[in-house]
């Protein structure tokens, strides 16, 4: 399945996510806009459980990539911050 169809529902669902306490004080600051795992699970649902699992897996893969890219080599040196590590890695 191409990544593009997953990106649209992910962006739509997460753009409407309320700001949580987690999002208000994060280290590093770019994590402020990341949704919590609970927000992703609650907002991404499909017609059946298999499709829901696939959509959520794609969303978590994208979130992981959004964390690992800015973290750079810190990821490979096991130096992620607690906030970066709290999201799916």
Domain ranges of the chain: 3-86
Per-residue pLDDT of the chain (89 residues; tens, 9 = 90+): 454 555 555 555 555 554 444 445 778 887 787 778 888 889 999 999 999 999 999 998 988 888 888 888 998 898 888 888 876 65
Model pLDDT, residue 5: 57
Model pLDDT, residue 63: 84
Model pLDDT, residue 20: 47
**Region of residue 87 (phi > 0: left; psi between -120 and 50: alpha; otherwise: beta):** beta
Model pLDDT, residue 83: 83
Nearest in space to 28 (alpha carbons), one of 88, 68, 77: 68
């Amino acid at each position: 399945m191409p990544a593009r169809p997953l990106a649209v529902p992910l962006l739509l669902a997460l753009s409407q996510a309320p700001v949580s306490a987690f999002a208000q004080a994060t280290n590093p600051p770019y994590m402020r806009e990341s949704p919590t795992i609970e927000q992703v699970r609650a907002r991404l649902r499909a017609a059946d459980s298999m499709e829901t699992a696939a959509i959520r897996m794609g969303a978590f893969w994208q979130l992981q990539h959004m964390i690992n890219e800015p973290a750079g080599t810190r990821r490979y040196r096991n130096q992620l911050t607690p906030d970066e590590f709290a999201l799916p890695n």
